[in-house]
Each structure stands twice: as C-alpha cells, then as structure tokens.
A and B are shown apart, each in its own frame.
Chain A
C-alpha cells in the first residue's frame, strides 16, 4: 500500500517538474554533463590530454583542435572533457559525504534535543564562524594539496550548514502528530528517524544538496585556481584556469572554455535544484 502511494507521489513530482521548462533544460544539461564525465574516454581518448605536440603550441580553436591548444601543445578540448570527471566527482562526493554526516548530526540534534542538541549546535556554530573557503584552505594547508585532501577540506566546510538545515527540518517534522503517535506505540527512536522523520524531510534536503553540489564545484575550482587544490598536469577545470592566467592576453580562449564548462555544470545543478523546489512545493508557483 505505501509503495503504491510513494510511486504516485514521485510521479506527481516528476509531472510537475516536467512542466517547468527551465527545470527540464537544467535536467538535459545535467545529463549532458554527467554523460561527458562518464563517457569522457569514448568522446576523446585520455592520451590526447597529455600528448604534447610542440609544433601546435598555443593555437586558437580550429577543426583539428576544437578548443585550441595550450602552451604545451595539448588539446584543450580533451583536457576540458576529461576535467569534467574531477569537478563532477568532487561535487558529488563532497555533497554526499556532507549530507550523510550532516544528516546524522542534524537529525540527532533535532530529534533528541537537550544536551545532544546543545553540544552539536555549539560545535557547528564554532565551525560556521570560519568563512568556508578559509576553513578549506586551513585543512589543505595542514594536510597537503591533493585530491583526497581537497575533498576532505570542502566537505568540512559544507557540513555545518547541512547540520543546521537538517536539524531545523527535523525539528519541524518531529513536532508533527504522527511522530507522537509512533512514539506512543513504542516504535524505537532509530526507526522513527529513518522511516518517519527523514522521508518527510527529504524535500528541502534534496534541494539543498543539489544546490550545494554547484557550490562545491565552484569551491573546488577556486581552490585549484589559487594552487591549493588539484595540481597540474591534472586537467581539473580550476587548475586549467590557473594555468591559463599567464596567457590572459595572448590566448584568451584558454580561459574561456574551461570557465564556460564550470558555469554550465554549476548552472545545470542550480536549475535542477530550482526545478525541484518548485515541483516539491506547488504553492510556491503562481
């Protein structure tokens, strides 16, 4: 019985989502970007990323090299395509990790209240006093600049916001009568959290997670740009931009293409997030 209702709920949300043209555009964009990342090898072999052809240095876009070449004669198109893997992966992994950690901490704080809530909230307050990029910088400073540490750094900066959001969502949901009812016939706390509270709190959480993927991608690009993230020769988009800075005036296309891709990926997630907000709460429209 509940499976059927869930199915129609989802299809109802999907129906409302489909009606929103910009949301659909975002979804299409998202599929394209994820597809590019997944099938990067199929689109263009990785070898072209690192293949240096001295004679072809710093050439503008052409039929042979769609996006041009960089100072080592590497094909920019290949590098951008393969760079999508890094950005996407970082965005998704950090968001998911921050979501899980945030959910555990936030749900505990919201549901159990009292001392648990106080301790968690105070600790999160302290974390939130450090500007996110600064926090990530500090982590990277301590641990070193590589992919793994970048992920840790960005996740850490994202967790406090998640905890706060999930805590407030759980607080509102846990006040509902059906939770009282469940408690009154002896359901265990864990079961209540997972089967009653969290599923109904899903809406804002999903929207927030989608938007945060976009933020995470921008943060990663920013950190790599100032040399604190992924290092060359990896074709991560931020690192590509960092490299391209010196050729700002001579070869601006080196800046244009990676940047546009960052923009499009981030835009895709934002559009989808917006679309989900509208689809999940039809009152907000009209």
Chain B
C-alpha cells in the first residue's frame, strides 16, 4: 500500500514579540493509505499544531516551520502556495475539530455548509441539483435525516453538530482525515456512536485517519498505529500491539497507562505522573521528560536521547538507545 503522508523531522515554532514557543520539535512519522494512526498526548504536546501544519493552516503571523518536510502524495505541504493548498484542503485532506458547538457558522444552513465543500472542489462540474443530492446522501450517511438540510446549527445538539462536521469533512472523499479530539466535547454514549461512524466510513472509503486524542481508550478502539507525543516530540511510536502490549516502553507511556484507574484492582489513590509538562518557551536541555521521569539518569539531564528501533517500534529514551548513538 502506498504511503500518502510522510513527516520528516518537522519542527514548528510560534514566535511573538514576547517569546518563542517551541511547539513541535523534530517529529517524524508516516501513514499508508487506509491506515489509522493515533496521536496521543496531553494538552500542549503539539498534536493540534502538527495537524494544522499538515493542512497549512498555521497562523501566518506567528507560526514558522523551522525544519523538516510534510510530504503529502509526494509534495511538500510547507512549500505549497496558498492556492494549491486551498485545492488540497477539504478535498484531499480534511480536518474535524474539537468543539462541535463552535465549528459551524451560525448564520448558514447545515446543508449549505456541506454543499460548500462540494462547490469549492467541483472538479466533476456537478450541477446545483446534483450537489444538493450529494449533500442529502452525505447527511443520511452520517445519520441525519435529509429533511433537516435547511436547518441552522443552533437547532442541533452537540453530537448532531459533530456529525455535520464529519459530513463536511467526508463529502469530497478525502484521502486523509485528521480528527482533532473529535469526541472530547461529547458525552460518552455519543462518543461511541461518533467513533463507530468514523471507523465505518473509513473502512467504506479507505480513508487514512490521524486520530488526535488524549484518551487511550479511543486509541484502542480505532487505531492501527500510535505515536505518543510529549513536549513536541514523538517519544514512542509503533503499532497498536507495540504500544499496548509488551514490556518495552517509554517511561511516559508507562506513566500514561499507569494513571488509568483500574476497574478490577482496588487502590486507594490514583497514580498520576508527577509534575507538569515543561514550559514550551523554556524547554530543558537533554531529555524533555527527564524532570518527571522515574527512571531518570544523569545522562538524561544533559543529552537528548536518540531513537531506539526494533521492527518499526521506536522509543526515544536513553534506557534503550545507546548513549553513543545519540544524534544531537
């Protein structure tokens, strides 16, 4: 299967008059057609920045890609002109955002907002009537009765609005769908429905998906492979089995799994990971997780860890990589 997305050593900063935020610090991963990859991490890890980077939607005034390439279908997104990007967005790469309550324009009908995606990328030169038909089909696909086409967003609940957002994202059959925490703002029961729907649609159309989330449960349900992000870096990367099973993990990953309360064991206290993510304007020398790491060694505080790899399972940690192999 062909590779549709390849990110090589990507670094992104936000630079304002006051400070520089090192949001993404040298990440690399790739995605094949039809694959689903989970991008997991706490708030502020750089997941949304990466997603916006893929779409070329980073704020022009403050964001800067300082290194690396984002190759989509062989072309570097970072070097594309705005007009080319506009053709790609919505048609080849789509994005679903986190908050369905604010993602839709309140003064336009949901039908027109879905239809707009078709109208903007009308290569097949569909007539207005055909566009309307496609809109209705897509609505039915996401489980909304087509009679509600001319209603306004405020007339829909959160879950329904998210379905509309998904309809907009999928109506042009994109090759890649980026879902940025699509269910975080929804009830657990609705969450299940939405996730199932995304998976079904993905299987039906062979869309590749990047599922951004902080919820390991969501990852387990939907993803083929996983990247764990911390402070702008991918600290562990591998297949679902690599991350969820086995005994070799990045200490952060272990902390994440360890902090999930168990339904079976009895425990008196939760086990959070001590400390907070480092200030992205003042990142520490050496390993960025070192201040919070239970297995921190002397070398961790001064030297960046290199990447250890075995059968596609990558871990960025001094515990595994030979100090002699450290790149930076």
Contact = CB atoms under 8 A, between A and B. Distances in A.
A and B touch in the complex (CB under 8 A): yes
B16 interface: yes
Interface residues of B, number: 3
Q: Helix, strand, loop or mixed for chain A's interface? A: loop
Nearest to B18: A19
A286 B21 CA distance: 15
Report, as a range, how many residues of chain A touch the other chain: under 10
Contacts of B61: 286
Interface in B53-107: 61-62
Interface string A273-286: 00000000000001
A286 B61 CA distance: 9
Nearest to A286: B16
Nearest to B16: A286
A286 B16 CA distance: 9
Interface string A249-286: 00000000000000000000000000000000000001
B63 to A, nearest CB: 12
Contacts of B16: 286
A187 to B, nearest CB: 32
A136 B92 CA distance: 63
Nearest to B62: A286
Contacts of A286: 16, 61-62
A201 B11 CA distance: 42
A135 to B, nearest CB: 35
A235 to B, nearest CB: 45
Interface in B118-165: none
A36 B180 CA distance: 58
B224 to A, nearest CB: 39
B79 to A, nearest CB: 26
A286 B63 CA distance: 13
Interface in B1-23: 16
B23 to A, nearest CB: 16
A31 to B, nearest CB: 27
Interface of A: 286
Pairs of residues from A and B, 3 with the lowest C-beta to C-beta distance, nearest first: A286-B16, A286-B62, A286-B61
3 contacts: A286-B16, A286-B61, A286-B62
